[in-house]
Amino acid sequence: MRRNWMVWLLFALSLAVVLAATVWISRTMLKLDRAEADARRRAALEENVRLALWRMDTALAPLVGQESARPYFVYRPLLSTDSAYGWMIHDSPHGAVFPSPLLKPVSPYILLHFQFLPDGRIISPQAPTASDLAMIKSRYVSESAIDRAAARLATLRTRLRREELFSQLPEPGRAAGEMTAAAQHGAAPRGPAQRITAADGRQDRGAVEFLRRDQAIVSNAAAMARQQMTLPPVSSGPVRADFGSEVMTPLWIGGELILARRVSVGGEEYLQGCLLDWQGIRTWLLDQIGDLAPGADLKPVPADDVADGSRRLAALPIRLAVPAPAATTDGKFSPLGLSLVAAWRCLILAAAASGLLLWGVMRLSQRRATFVSAVTHELRTPLTTFHMYTEMLAEGMVKDPEQQREYLQTFRGEAARLTHLVENVLAYARLERGRKAAPVESLCLGELLQGFFGRLDARARQSDRELVLEKGPRVEEAVVRVDSSAVEQILLNLVDNACKHARASTDRRIHLSARQQGRQVEIRILDHGPGLPSPVRRRLFRPFRKSASEAACSAPGVGLGLALSRRLARDMGGRLELDRGVSEGACFVLTVPVVKTSRQVYSPNLERRSSRSV
């Protein structure tokens, strides 16, 4: 028992170590799987963000390029033909006039064009002065449009400061040269993206993408500027060369989003720009990227913000705000999760199989030890008897012939008991090795019982018992499908058990009865002994159920007969059970199937078995 506890303890410790290691490996793999899934979600999000930024900058590029390439003389309400490409900025004293193209809306996302004059005044071509108002109202634009533009211009006067704007815009001379070079060579000048990257000191993927988008926008503006430079003049007058302009720079001023540039003409500096419809642009751009970044938003970027441009638009100072990717909650396992579930199931099955195998091996080892001890005890008694009686007979210590005959009868009985024991062990060994059972045959039950009765009765008389044969109606004519040798061995084991366990009873009878129950025949062996207690009944049909101590304190035998008998009964399609309804003594019931009813069935095997029994 102590050895069994040690084995189970080692098994439990080994299983605990394996389970702990498997838990650690599973948790580590799940962490890595979640990290990989998060990385994939982040990568997919960043790719969508990159495509969304490109889509928005591509949509804004024509707007910024068109405003950057727009001639600066169009920021007056009326233009004369003589000054269009001559003096450009001042009114001509003679010549015909034509309206500025900015009088009418040029884009749904531009609310107002404006210009700061050198004297600090702010004007707008869409809000003409009183001298030009009569001609414009009657010919080119409605009065309501002029009123709206005038109201917006009045709001700008309170929010924009000329000095503040000038401080945030680059000088026009340098910008004009860079735009000219970019237009001639197809490259982009140094822009905001390069300034952000240089300030940060490194070029990550987001900054590089920002730089590329910025270069695309500046290149587009440069190409439009080059087209404007190649337009033929509408006047034969002199063309001014002492002017310079800058690319439109997007700015947030007083909560308003504007595009502005510095213009230098004849040594005087002007500031031109346009007021953008921020809410309209925001709605328009979010609609453009709804399929790539659902739930995203656009946030203004202050002028002093030089953070990473990975999510910043190059065309306008706007940052794309995207919610963090949510973990998938569809209830589905990842391939790794399914693999771990399968691995855990296999591990549990393997642990259960190992435990069952260990239990079976230990049980088999215990059964073998029990069998060896029980058989040793069973062999010791007859061998001691043989040794003592043969020694007495050999030395002539027994002179009485009657006593000598008694000793020889004792030898015969012990030899028969040993033979019965060996036959049971060999028969059970054959069944354990899986040898094919003897074929069943159709036999007459009456003749079968009559053929076995002689040997069974001899075993009963050997224990001073009387075997009583009781046959029910139709039993003599019943034909059963059985193995005659197996039936004989079963009944012999049952009679032997009755003789051993009921030897102290006053009623010396052992009843062998047979009766037909439908398509079955029941053969009963009933004794009048003390019966079987409940603990013994629960393990009655287990093989080698007796230990050496139990064998010493109980009737002879190793506890194999009943287990062997049940196996033999099942192999020929029958069954062997204990009748628990009998309160006095023990009653075992052998049930075999009935084939038909016949007056006589001849069986050579039965005849051979009957002659041997006699």
User: What pLDDT score was predicted for residue 96?
Assistant: 67
CA separation for the pair 245, 170 (Å, rounded): 10
> At residue 604, does pLDDT exceed 50?
no
CATH number at residue 518: 3.30.565.10
Q: What is the full DSSP assignment across 10-77?
A: HHHHHHHHHHHHHHHHHHHHHHHHHHHHHHHHHHHHHHHHHHHHHHHHHHHHHHHHHHHTS-GGGGSS
Lowest-pLDDT range of 51-65, 75-89, 169-183, 584-598: 169-183
302 with 170, same domain? Answer: yes
508-544 pLDDT, tens digit per residue, is 899 999 998 888 899 999 998 888 887 777 778 877 6
305 with 445, same domain? Answer: no
For residue 275, which of 159, 101, 128, 143 has the smallest C-alpha distance? 159
Residues 446, 471 contacting (CB under 8 angstroms): yes
Give me the mean pLDDT over the 119-128 stretch: 89
Residue 389: inside a domain, yes or no? no
Residue 78: inside a domain, yes or no? yes
> What total number of domains does the chain contain?
2
Give me the mean pLDDT over the 131-155 stretch: 79
Q: Percentage of residues in the chain with pLDDT exceeding 70?
A: 78
CA separation for the pair 274, 105 (Å, rounded): 12
Lowest-pLDDT range of 14-18, 160-164, 232-236, 524-528: 232-236
CA separation for the pair 244, 229 (Å, rounded): 12
Residue 173: inside a domain, yes or no? yes
Residue 462: inside a domain, yes or no? yes
Which of 321, 341, 359 is where one domain is finished? 321
Task: Give 319's strand partners.
Answer: 299, 312
65 with 197, same domain? Answer: yes
User: What pLDDT score was predicted for residue 227?
Assistant: 62
Which of 321, 347, 369 is where one domain is finished? 321
Residue 344: inside a domain, yes or no? no
Query: Which range marks the domain in which residue 296 is found?
Result: 44-321
Q: Which amino acid is at 544?
A: F
Task: Return left, alpha or beta for 195; rule: phi > 0 is left, psi -120 to 50 is alpha, else beta.
Answer: alpha
> At residue 239, does pLDDT exceed 60?
no
Residues 125, 105 contacting (CB under 8 angstroms): no
Residue 381: inside a domain, yes or no? no
User: What pLDDT score was predicted for residue 231?
Assistant: 46
312 with 457, same domain? Answer: no
CA separation for the pair 466, 389 (Å, rounded): 29
User: What pLDDT score was predicted for residue 308?
Assistant: 57
CA separation for the pair 59, 68 (Å, rounded): 15
Run of H or E including 480: strand 478-482
User: What pLDDT score was predicted for residue 366?
Assistant: 78
- Give the residue with greater pLDDT, 88 vs 586: 586
576 with 447, same domain? Answer: yes
- Give the residue with greater pLDDT, 429 vs 54: 54
Burial 249-281 (b: 16+ CB within 10 A, else e): bbbbbeebbbbbbbbbbeeebbbbbbbbbbeeb
Residues 79, 98 contacting (CB under 8 angstroms): yes
450 with 301, same domain? Answer: no
> At residue 197, does pLDDT exceed 60?
no
> For the CA atoms of 107, 112, 116, 117, what is the dihedral angle to 10 degrees?
90
Around 159, how many Cα atoms within 13 Å sit in the side-chain half-sphere? 15
- Give the residue with greater pLDDT, 153 vs 130: 153
What is the distance of C-alpha 465 from the center of its chain? Answer: 71
Which of 321, 349, 366 is where one domain is finished? 321
- Give the residue with greater pLDDT, 141 vs 572: 572
293-340 pLDDT, tens digit per residue, is 898 999 998 877 765 567 889 889 999 999 887 766 566 778 888 898
Q: Which amino acid is at 426?
A: L
Residues 74, 114 contacting (CB under 8 angstroms): no
Give me the mean pLDDT over the 596-609 stretch: 46
CA separation for the pair 256, 272 (Å, rounded): 15
Q: Percentage of residues in the chain with pLDDT exceeding 90?
A: 21
Residues 590, 572 contacting (CB under 8 angstroms): no
Lowest-pLDDT range of 187-201, 259-273, 427-441: 187-201
Residue 292: inside a domain, yes or no? yes
Residues 413, 464 contacting (CB under 8 angstroms): no
> At residue 235, does pLDDT exceed 80?
no
Give me the mean pLDDT over the 555-575 stretch: 80
Residue 414: inside a domain, yes or no? no
Chain mean pLDDT for the chain: 78
What is the distance of C-alpha 354 from the center of its chain? Answer: 26
